[in-house]
Chain A
Amino acid sequence: MSRVKTAFRTPWFWAIIGIALLLLVNSIKNPAYLAISVNPTTGLLTGNVLDILRISAPIIMIALGMTFVIATEGIDLSVGSMMAVGGAVAMQTLSTLDSNSVGAMFTAIGLALLLAIVLGAINGILVAVVGLQPFISTLIMMLAARGIARVITDGQNTNATNEPFRQLANGQILGLPTSFVLAIAIVVLIALTMRRTALGLMIESIGINPKASRLAGIRPRPILIGVYVLSAALAAVGGLFSVSEVMTVSVGGTGNLMELDAILAVVIGGTSLAGGKFSILGSTIGALLIATLNKTVLFLGIPAAATPAFKALVIIALVLLQSERIRSFAFSRTKSSGTPTGPATPAATESTPVSKEVVA
């Protein structure tokens, strides 16, 4: 019982329930939804679940970066645009190099990461050194980065050919999409870094009480700049995964509104927007839920106009389930006829008078 209760209190528990329910709904519509088959021409596995995993890779990346920013009591609204920057740099580089070599792929990835790190550092400096509000700093960057992406590609939706790069999203490792495997590897690597070193503790400490953390000798600036750089770099990786699916960057569309998906994934995963304790596992599961939801919307054929409303409904239901207050309200009604609790027991009414050691 107590284990069940603990599970109820774990925010991502409800995200897993949500994923299961969405898959169930899809399976009801088409019983073959969960089936996985082999594509005869490519020899790769195909299936809806694999599609979900593939599109989840970019969301996992931006949600991961967002987790640490939010833990420091900040927010990074520029991750969607940063995806476009990463994609634009990669596509432009690959189309210029026009080579199928692995070297060209690494050049493209390296340049994309480099620019993202510079832009992330600007975010971090605006927040940590200049002292601007994270919301404002990254809102500015959201607009600026989208503009930079346009400049890089000359406003064109650039496409390129590079087989190794295309394999990022379209290849498979042990039957799983390469981008998803890479995303999970990055999650594990960063989780280990956060928890094996004291970085995670310091990020949480700054997010909970910045003044006390500073007096305890934690330098807030490098850590704050670091989380914004990390967020931007991960967003660029997300952008690479995203453009590698179709080998085209859409300067207006790549990563558009994805910052909201990232924030939702983090919140669903149990990291409070007020900062402090963060859950990497939670954010990853949150990202998987968002990916499942995105695919479900398409699969159920929900009209494009109604899509945002449908997503909102699912997310509100989930957030309400996570709220202890709402849960206890709902559950206390269902079992109110159970054992009477509280002060009305007979033992309490015939209580002894106030005992006194000394009475005047």
Chain B
Amino acid sequence: MIEPIAIVEVRNASITFPGVKALDEVSFRLLPGEVHTLMGENGAGKSTLIKALTGVYQIDSGEIVVAGQVRHFTGTASAQAAGISTVYQEVNLCTNLTIGENVMLGHEVRGLAGVNWRKTHALAREALARMGLGDLDPRAPLSSLSIAMQQLVAISRAMVTDSKVLILDEPTSSLDANEVEVLFGVIRRLRDQGVAILFVSHFLDQVYAISDRITVLRNGKFVGEYLKRDLDRTQLISKMIGKDFESLRALGSNRQTEARDRTQTPLFAAEGLGRKGAIEPTDVDIHSGEVVGFAGLLGAGRTELARLIAGADKADSGTVRIRGKKVSLNSPVAGLSQGIAYSTESRRDDGIVGDLSVRENIMLAVQARRGWFRRVPAREVDQLVTTYMERFSVRPNDPDRPIRLLSGGNQQKVLLGRWLATNPDLLLLDEPTRGIDVGAKADIQETVAELAEGGMGVVFISSELEEVVRLSERIVILKDHQKVGEVVNGPEVTAESIVSVIATESGDEAEEQADALAEEVAAGDDRTGLEGSAS
């Protein structure tokens, strides 16, 4: 097979940051008409390579060749001028402008009297049509679109200059399954038009659905370039983490199916817990040693419920009992003093304190509980910090490094360390595995199972239903700001069966479906009970 000539070629590129070799002699190429996925754990160098290609970072050695010409990018503008367009994870558009204005920003058609809006919008419509989005009205405000459609508008905007290269950095992380399909339709269309596409995602299914070619990086080094059909998932994962992955396989058995005595007083019991505009009054019980999954689409009320449980938001209805004792959770301090720790969904906004060191970030919650006057003694600090940095193998292994310089997965590990250092009875994990790589994900899933085994109550929230099903003992299903059902996990419960509950149109029907699923589980339990634990 004759391969077409690469449009972008990175040759032996290295980038060194103080103390870290972020890219070490990495080579990479993009062929026209192909979707090329970049895979690697957090800190493997994916973002660094992308930033080198988009001109954010400059390479220390090696070279970048675009369409046969050696290029030295001095900034994002020079990369764009070379025909490399990028769409980032977070949509960088102006929601207060119209769709057309966003698409054409900086490329407006100018006439005698300023911008010729009629022509500009016509061009915008054309650009959108090339993406198969011809039915969008360019004069409608961008804010009228869903995040997914905004993402597509962002791609249209990137392609308005007829770029030959499109970089998509985790474009799917906030999209649901249908939206991902639409996005993939657009990507395929661009690919067929001969555009070279660099795709980054942490979702393996998506990688296998869309890629033609996969390059794996590990620890800043090039591991290999493969055609998708030559590399199955297990091989891919083992290349990414660089070790055998029996531990990953073993996770399948973490699913807890043993029956629990639900008559004993639960660790946490909420009755009618709710907050106007966030979540309808909800009953939730969480027992010690139990992993409870919250399943539902983004915005279904998962985060809102978790925030009420943690005291991060004030509930305006309902009562909460902890070990049978009525308590009031009106602030995070109250939640923490009751032994409830809450790891938030948005790491950057609500989680890390960027300029503080890894050490200070781990100690923050413990220190806050002691009060400002009683500083945690240095020996205890060292002990806690070492414990959690080793337990989660935080990289780089430097407690004095500002946390903002760590990769996302490592930040997540540090935050997990922060909450575990408070020694909580109940740990709420809101999307702890979002945007992090397979290796770190497996670490975190394993930790969740271990913690529950050790007697901690854990609430696990994730958009990846497989993950919820795999880890949870019980699953609370949420939809449109209310709880529509609750099922005890069992062989009958799969991501699909939960999706079918969520996908049911009205809330009442969803509740019925959930009940039916719960009954089926109960029946299944009887059966397995008769057959003995044959699983």
Contacts and interface: CB of A to CB of B under 8 A. Distances in A.
To the question of whether A and B form a pair in one complex, the answer is: yes
Interface string B445-466: 0000000000000000000000
A202 B355 contact: no
A76 to B, nearest CB: 20
A202 B372 contact: yes
Interface stretch (A153-161, A280-288, A350-358): A350-358
Contacts of B67: none
A42 interface: no
Contacts of B27: 351, 353-355
B91 interface: no
A360 B364 contact: no
Interface string A209-227: 1011111111100010000
Contacts of B12: 348, 351-352
Interface stretch (A176-184, A191-199, A296-304): A191-199
B39 to A, nearest CB: 14
Contact count band on A = 35 or more
B375 A197 contact: yes
Prevailing SS type, chain B contact patch: mixed
Contacts of B352: 209, 212
A201 B360 contact: yes
A202 to B, nearest CB: 5
B332 interface: yes
A346 to B, nearest CB: 11
Contacts of B479: none
Contacts of B342: 215
A208 B11 CA distance: 39
A345 B63 CA distance: 10
B285 to A, nearest CB: 24
A58 interface: no
17 contacts: A198-B370, A198-B376, A209-B350, A215-B332, A218-B368, A277-B355, A342-B60, A342-B72, A343-B63, A347-B61, A348-B12, A348-B61, A354-B27, A357-B223, A357-B225, A358-B224, A360-B230
A198 B372 contact: yes
Interface string B367-394: 1111111111000000000000000000
B72 A343 contact: yes
B28 A348 contact: no
Contact of A208 (B1, B350, B354): B354
A349 interface: yes
Prevailing SS type, chain A contact patch: loop
Contacts of B351: 212, 215
A205 interface: yes
Contacts of A199: 372-373
Contacts of A211: 349-350
B101 interface: no
A352 B342 CA distance: 50
Given A198-B373, A342-B58, 9 more contacts: A197-B375, A212-B344, A213-B364, A215-B342, A217-B332, A218-B364, A351-B62, A354-B27, A354-B225
A212 B336 CA distance: 14
A267 B311 CA distance: 37
A92 to B, nearest CB: 36
A261 interface: no
B332 A355 contact: no
B11 to A, nearest CB: 4
A204 interface: yes
B63 A358 contact: no
B372 A216 contact: no
Interface of B: 1, 9, 11-12, 27-29, 58-63, 70, 72, 222-227, 230-231, 310, 312, 331-333, 336-337, 342, 344, 349-356, 360, 364-365, 367-376, 418, 422
Contacts of A124: none
Given A348-B11, A354-B29, A358-B226, A216 B354 contact: no
B352 to A, nearest CB: 6
A11 interface: no
A276 interface: yes
Contacts of A216: 332, 353, 364-365, 368, 418
A158 B52 CA distance: 67
A270 to B, nearest CB: 13
- Smallest CB-CB A-B distances: 5 pairs: A217-B368, A357-B224, A351-B11, A217-B336, A354-B27
B418 to A, nearest CB: 7
Contacts of A202: 367-368, 372
Contacts of A215: 310, 312, 332, 342, 344, 350-351
Nearest to A343: B63
A345 B368 CA distance: 53
Contacts of B62: 343, 348, 351
A212 B364 CA distance: 10
Contacts of B367: 198, 201-202
Contacts of B222: 355
A255 to B, nearest CB: 30
A111 B198 CA distance: 69
Nearest to A217: B368
B369 A217 contact: yes
A349 B333 contact: no
A196 B375 contact: yes
Nearest to A347: B61
Contacts of B231: 358
Interface string A319-360: 000000000000000000000011101011101111111101
Contacts of B28: 354
Nearest to A196: B375
Contact of A357 (B60, B226, B372, B374): B226
Contacts of A208: 353-356
A349 B65 CA distance: 11
Contacts of B226: 357-358
Most B CB contacts (10 A, CB to CB) among A201, A341, A343, A352 go to: A343
Contact of B333 (A201, A212, A217, A355): A217
Interface string A48-83: 000000000000000000000000000000000000
B230 A358 contact: yes
Contacts of A343: 59, 61-63, 70, 72
A141 B275 CA distance: 37
A355 B503 CA distance: 47
Contacts of A351: 11-12, 27, 62-63
B332 A205 contact: no
A97 to B, nearest CB: 37
Contacts of A201: 356, 360, 364, 367
